[in-house]
Structure 1
């Protein structure tokens, strides 16, 4: 590919604001995004580059609503772009938008693209706690307020009926099935997740934009206690994404020819080799298995396309909950801590919702500039629904991206209503805890003798019913997935009795 059409990253920037949650310091997301754009422009070392931007793309902000954030940024930087994009919700979007921008550069329809996003959930929470209207504090009112969501982004009617909607519940269900499929005991799985999330804290401690740069041990991560309550088995609070942050990031991607024409120093250039995306069924109850992700496997395989994962110098993956990076490590055949990356994970760096992977692109670009090599960056959206991976290289490599995601949805077990009384085998399960540290409700996916799938929840606020599916029912963690149970339905909820041991 000629230099005119070789996509390269040339500028990256990120900001962290208002970690103290000071009402007087509360800045809206658009202001943080503008600061990140300015940082990226300064980073590329080419003052006139931003004005030449022909593509502006923004990742959906969840903490505040904007009618046209991409257009506002374009006007602010004095650009007249041919392409503007405001994405929908999803952690895959930073990778998708970079892929799309690179593809336009590769086909000659673009020369300079800017991708940005950010959140201000911490400041929004501070304003609300103080009883202050954000608009009265100067935040945008066009349209302002919390953004609306498409119901399909939240979950299907079947998921709603079973109570399987919140990410902390769904990802814990995936973890339980994946653990069982690997043959890991609950103890071993808990220890593995804790090692990875402790490694994230070490990475975050060296990242100046990290929200919580405190190193924690694996034991501190895994052990429930004061300040680290159990949320949904087996995940403690320290293993959950931390969305209440003020963070923003921006990246600038250009053709190699445009970079050189604008005087970008060669040492700032990182090549976008390309990547691939895939999507699974949006309804998790309509997927073949809770133990794996066909979309994730497809995106990784197509992105690497014959490269040995062991030869990658950096692997930085989405980490809203441990099962996501663990699935990546397992598919690549690598030790789990090899995917700790250079950003710091959602638990320590911070989880600015859909824009986290923009921060990963910043950190990975900086790492490749300093140390060379190749890097894999991964973004995940929905409930392990949308996957996109990217390959970046300090040294030149031909662009080979595929901006069109594949649909990897496969045939699923027949989902049937929960019988009044039935024997079944647990396919996935988790127990959710309240803020006081006591179990409150269990969530179950199981298979009937004929292979049909059922999904249900115990009554909320009934700890005894919830503990029937707990890993900790008898002290030391015990496996619940794969165990035969008797399910009894009453008033829209279930009671569960194990039939062995």
Structure 2
């Protein structure tokens, strides 16, 4: 017996705007989102949507973006969901929408998101007021404020680990050591991986950067491709200064057919899974792996009952190289596997929380009218929140598979380094941040005591000599290095024992 409640995608729309960052072409995110909805087609289903889900916009603030969208498209949804900050939300919201459709609570839903960071930045530089001069929304308007909890735990913030650009390299450098790779071997892997992503982006009509780069171009440090935090040059960091928006229409199979959607415009949602790590990076047992990432990927695949080898594509969130690396390792895929059909955050563009909506749009285009299947993954926070979905051009033959988001509960004790003066520690991972002139600015080091207590120490900001001691240009790894943690005048420092033995 056919299940009319099977959740399906019936339309997607994507927008890339104001790539030249012209003041005259600047539009707020809501305008871009509405254009994406127009491009998604099915105006009958858009107006009939009984649920609207929005991914948090960071470049411009809206009290309730779902209300603005509903009014603009003439919909009267009984259910609305405006997400907080986090890159996992496009897939997590899709899972929520699909679950409600499968249970009969909903029949048609819209999922939208977008950013106008390129335009907002251009207007600021030009001294143009988006509200007074261009009529942008004032509900409440202005950039979305960042909640302190989005910057990590108090221990992380105290040690300066409040930016993704500083945290993801810690995972990368620990992974390199765990795999027994030299810095050069690991850098080559990253460069080849991101060169492949740039080639994908070059074929994507809404990508921000449209040039396919060689591995040498990606991996070579130059004044234009400066080091940000070791081992990542600028080309391996997400690019948030874009104007991009996307919209997805998800309905029940019955609603799609009632609206006259042709069979070759329907993509079926098979299963999804989510998993969250401890919010405090310093409390996580391992800093070279992500158990929640592996759980989300394998959970979606297991619930869909689709072997990894049968997937036509795997599209992985790629804000930094360590994320697709960890995903490939979790799935047992060869290192040369291209883990994106979108193009990655540094080439396609990184519209902050809504990147994976674009991945869903690419998946829809790849799967509709075929017998193929694929997986789309989304990541949020500091490798903190994971969600994945398996989709196919045909029904799975079973009900939509989802479940509760699993949450890690076991963690290490974390201490303020200032409370550990005179303690012997072992280095677990480290990274060095560079200034725009290419000089070492500050090092960030994660250590553990003999009793298993974790702490983080930063060198004095601007002390190039102290930061350079932790550079991977001086030694292949810091992992396992023994040191004495001292505190002088309230400032924690690491006295490393015998650097020479590790060169």
TM over 0.5: yes
1:286, distance to aligned residue in structure 2 (A): 1.4
The count of corresponding residues between Structure 1 and Structure 2 is: 494
Q: Which of 116, 124, 127 lines up with 1:120 in the alignment?
A: 116
Cα distance change, pair 391–436 in 1 and its aligned pair in 2 (3 A) = same
Counterpart contact for 1:468–1:498, Cα < 8 Å: no
Cα distance change, pair 213–490 in 1 and its aligned pair in 2 (3 A) = farther
Counterpart contact for 1:112–1:258, Cα < 8 Å: yes
Counterpart contact for 1:70–1:84, Cα < 8 Å: yes
Compare 352-361 and 169-178 and name the one that shifted more. Answer: 169-178
Compare 105-114 and 148-157 and name the one that shifted more. Answer: 148-157
1:141, distance to aligned residue in structure 2 (A): 1.1
Q: Which of 112, 129, 133 lines up with 1:133 in the alignment?
A: 129
- TM (normalized to structure 2)? 0.95
Counterpart contact for 2:54–2:65, Cα < 8 Å: yes
Measured in 2, the distance between the counterparts of 1:47 and 1:134 equals 30
1:227, distance to aligned residue in structure 2 (A): 0.9
Compare 112-121 and 302-311 and name the one that shifted more. Answer: 302-311
Compare 417-426 and 458-467 and name the one that shifted more. Answer: 417-426
1:371, distance to aligned residue in structure 2 (A): 5.3
1:495, distance to aligned residue in structure 2 (A): 4.5
Summarize deviations over 1:374-419 as a string: whole Å, max 9, x none: 1110000111111000000112113433253111232324535353
Measured in 2, the distance between the counterparts of 1:424 and 1:81 equals 56
Q: How does 1:100-499 map to 2 (within 5 A)?
A: 100-136=96-132, 137-305=134-302, 307-369=306-368, 372-397=371-396, 398-415=398-415, 417-418=417-418, 419-473=420-474, 478-491=476-489, 492-499=491-498
Measured in 1, the distance between the counterparts of 2:364 and 2:395 equals 14
Measured in 1, the distance between the counterparts of 2:273 and 2:357 equals 17
1:352, distance to aligned residue in structure 2 (A): 0.3
Gaps of 5+ in 2: none
Measured in 1, the distance between the counterparts of 2:205 and 2:123 equals 25
Gaps of 5+ in 1: none
Q: After TM superposition, what 4+ stretches of structure 1 lie above 4 angstroms from structure 2?
A: none
Counterpart contact for 1:329–1:339, Cα < 8 Å: no
Measured in 2, the distance between the counterparts of 1:76 and 1:403 equals 33
Per the alignment, in what secondary structure is the counterpart of residue 337 of structure 2? helix
Q: How does 1:19-168 map to 2 (within 5 A)?
A: 19-41=19-41, 46-136=42-132, 137-168=134-165
Counterpart contact for 1:162–1:455, Cα < 8 Å: yes
Compare 181-190 and 266-275 and name the one that shifted more. Answer: 181-190
Summarize deviations over 1:170-191 as a string: whole Å, max 9, x none: 0011111122222222221111
1:241, distance to aligned residue in structure 2 (A): 0.2
Measured in 2, the distance between the counterparts of 1:363 and 1:3 equals 26
Compare 214-223 and 455-464 and name the one that shifted more. Answer: 214-223
Measured in 2, the distance between the counterparts of 1:399 and 1:206 equals 34
1:493, distance to aligned residue in structure 2 (A): 4.2
Measured in 2, the distance between the counterparts of 1:155 and 1:393 equals 37
Q: CA RMSD in A?
A: 1.6
- TM (normalized to structure 1)? 0.95
1:446, distance to aligned residue in structure 2 (A): 1.0
Per the alignment, in what secondary structure is the counterpart of residue 290 of structure 1? coil
Measured in 2, the distance between the counterparts of 1:325 and 1:78 equals 40
Cα distance change, pair 478–498 in 1 and its aligned pair in 2 (3 A) = farther
